[in-house]
């Protein structure tokens, strides 16, 4: 397998490859490289922060005591910040690269937000557990998650007064896509999810008194359905497989949908809804490695930040610094903009975020300052975080240049460039890079990460 193809695979299935991975994998067959990627992600390792200090607050008494609820909410918010940073660090360091990339993908598919750290951790690890599993089992598990029950108001879905919010999003955003169901389908399926609830520990409960056990007619089928039955009927619609495969193709292959290839994936996925088998087919396909698909996707803010840290190890000394960068770049983990999640693609870049992206490597790795010529929205936002009179640094970090120098020691400047930059460089960028001093690999690395082409993968 060529270095370029390994680079492409590891950016789409992860967050870039290290020099050691290039050396180990180059000249191996595609099947061996892809199989190793899946082997490394076989095991699911839970992600959790230490909650021992707030665990005593979690009891039935919490529901009755307002002061304890307020105290729990305050501590939970702080734990969520730590969980965000822990998740980012996991993306940087985990050997289960594909499982973590898939978890990130599913987090923007089964979009959910909550303020209870216990329920957020549980939800996040459910995503991680099923990330490469069976899609049908995945959807059923999501429908019973405490965080989702709250987020889409299914806790208020009762026989006497059905709430259709979850039923609608289940079909529109999670399984079928808009226009592939009727309003009657929404109403009937909502009845099947009545009585879905959770206890204060986040465990699923079906409250029989609130559950509608009467007959429902859904997609032409009639029965005394519960939520799992509705999901089983949805899975029998080939449109479900097609909808998911379209999102997989757009996220992992190209923003431009290729209908024939999506249908190829659909035929595979529809057989058993095995996510691992679907992704294996994607990464083994010749078309995945076509030049038209390499270096053509804009990195999400998280991909951008994590990829940079995989190349040059960085430790943030303050939790808020990691959150600050995410907010300014436009993607804060655990805090999606709405139930549809982040749009991605060209929406990641605007006149404000591109300025920060181009400067961020220098800010983090060289403690540089941003130079802004035209005052605008970005400057106003940035100045709330960075004011030379109040702070000497935008972020406080420890940069591990020793590890970088060890990893890239044997590489020439040109080889360094080919490993860090995915797309082909424009003539202008090539000319610009030739004017730069290449005597320091550290400086050259920062400069490579500051060019427009580094925004692509």
Could you give the CA distance from residue 415 to residue 423 in angstroms, rounded to a whole number?
14
Cβ atoms 37, 13 nearer than 8 A: yes
Per-residue b or e along 409-431, where b marks 16 or more CB atoms closer than 10 Å to that residue's CB: eebebeebbebbbbbebeeebee
- Name, in order, each residue with C-beta under 8 angstroms of 46's C-beta and a sequence gap of 6 or more: 125, 128
Strands 221-223 and 216-218, sheet pairing: antiparallel
Residue 385: what pLDDT? Answer: 43
Dist CA 197 CA 157 (whole Å): 9
239-to-267, 282, 352 alpha-carbon distances in Å: 11, 19, 38
Instruction: Kindly report the average pLDDT of the chain as a whole number.
Output: 92
- Residue owning tokens 């789409």: 12
What pLDDT is attached to residue 31? 98
**DSSP 3-state assignment of 437?**
coil
Q: Which two tokens stand for residue 208?
A: 């029989």
What tens digit of pLDDT does each residue of 410-425 get?
999 999 999 999 999 9
* Per-residue pLDDT tens over the stretch 213-259: 999 999 999 999 999 999 999 999 999 999 999 999 999 999 999 99
The stretches in the chain having pLDDT less than 50 are 369-391
pLDDT tens readout for residues 391-414: 456 889 999 999 999 999 999 999
Determine if the pTM surpasses 0.85: yes
Q: Which two tokens stand for residue 273?
A: 């809804």
Q: At what angle do helices 259-272 and 238-252 cross, to 10 degrees?
A: 120
Closest-CA residue to 451 (of 358, 351, 350, 355): 358
């Amino acid at each position: 397998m060529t270095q370029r193809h390994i680079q492409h695979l590891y950016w789409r299935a992860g967050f870039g490859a290290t020099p050691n991975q290039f050396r180990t994998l180059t000249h191996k067959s595609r099947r061996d490289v892809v199989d190793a990627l899946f082997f490394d992600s076989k095991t699911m390792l839970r992600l959790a922060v230490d909650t021992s200090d707030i665990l005593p607050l979690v009891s039935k008494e919490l529901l009755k005591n307002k002061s304890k609820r307020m105290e729990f909410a305050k501590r939970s918010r702080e734990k969520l910040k730590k969980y965000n940073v822990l998740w980012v660090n996991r993306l940087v360091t985990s050997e289960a690269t594909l499982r973590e990339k898939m978890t990130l993908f599913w987090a923007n598919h089964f979009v959910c937000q909550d303020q209870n750290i216990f329920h957020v951790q549980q939800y996040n690890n459910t995503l991680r557990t099923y990330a490469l599993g069976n899609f049908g089992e995945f959807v059923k598990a999501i429908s019973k998650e405490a965080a989702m029950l709250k987020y889409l108001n299914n806790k208020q879905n009762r026989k006497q007064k059905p709430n259709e919010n979850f039923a609608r999003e289940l079909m529109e955003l999670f399984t079928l896509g808009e226009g592939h169901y009727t309003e009657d389908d929404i109403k009937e399926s909502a009845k099947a999810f009545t009585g879905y609830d959770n206890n204060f520990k986040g465990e699923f409960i079906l409250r029989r008194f609130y559950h509608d056990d009467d007959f429902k007619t859904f997609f032409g089928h009639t029965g005394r359905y519960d939520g799992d039955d509705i999901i089983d009927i949805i899975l029998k619609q080939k449109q479900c497989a097609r909808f998911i495969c379209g999102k997989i193709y757009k996220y992992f292959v190209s923003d431009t949908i290729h209908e024939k290839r999506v249908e190829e994936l659909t035929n595979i996925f529809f057989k058993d809804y095995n996510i691992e088998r679907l992704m294996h087919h994607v990464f083994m396909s010749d078309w995945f490695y076509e030049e038209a698909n390499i270096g053509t996707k804009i990195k999400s803010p998280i991909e951008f930040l994590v990829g940079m840290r995989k190349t040059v190890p960085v430790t943030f000394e303050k939790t808020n610094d990691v959150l600050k960068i995410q907010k300014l770049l436009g993607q804060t983990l655990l805090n999606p903009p709405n139930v549809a999640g982040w749009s991605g693609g060209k929406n990641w870049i605007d006149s404000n975020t591109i300025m920060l992206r181009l400067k961020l490597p220098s800010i983090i790795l060289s403690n540089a300052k941003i130079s802004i010529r035209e005052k605008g929205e970005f400057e106003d936002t940035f100045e709330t975080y960075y004011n030379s009179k109040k702070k000497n640094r935008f972020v406080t970090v420890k940069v591990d240049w020793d590890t970088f120098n060890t990893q890239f020691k044997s590489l020439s400047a040109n080889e360094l460039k080919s490993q860090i930059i995915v797309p082909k460089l424009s003539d202008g960028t090539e000319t610009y890079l030739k004017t730069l001093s290449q005597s320091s690999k550290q400086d050259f690395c920062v400069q490579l990460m500051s060019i427009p082409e580094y925004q692509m993968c």
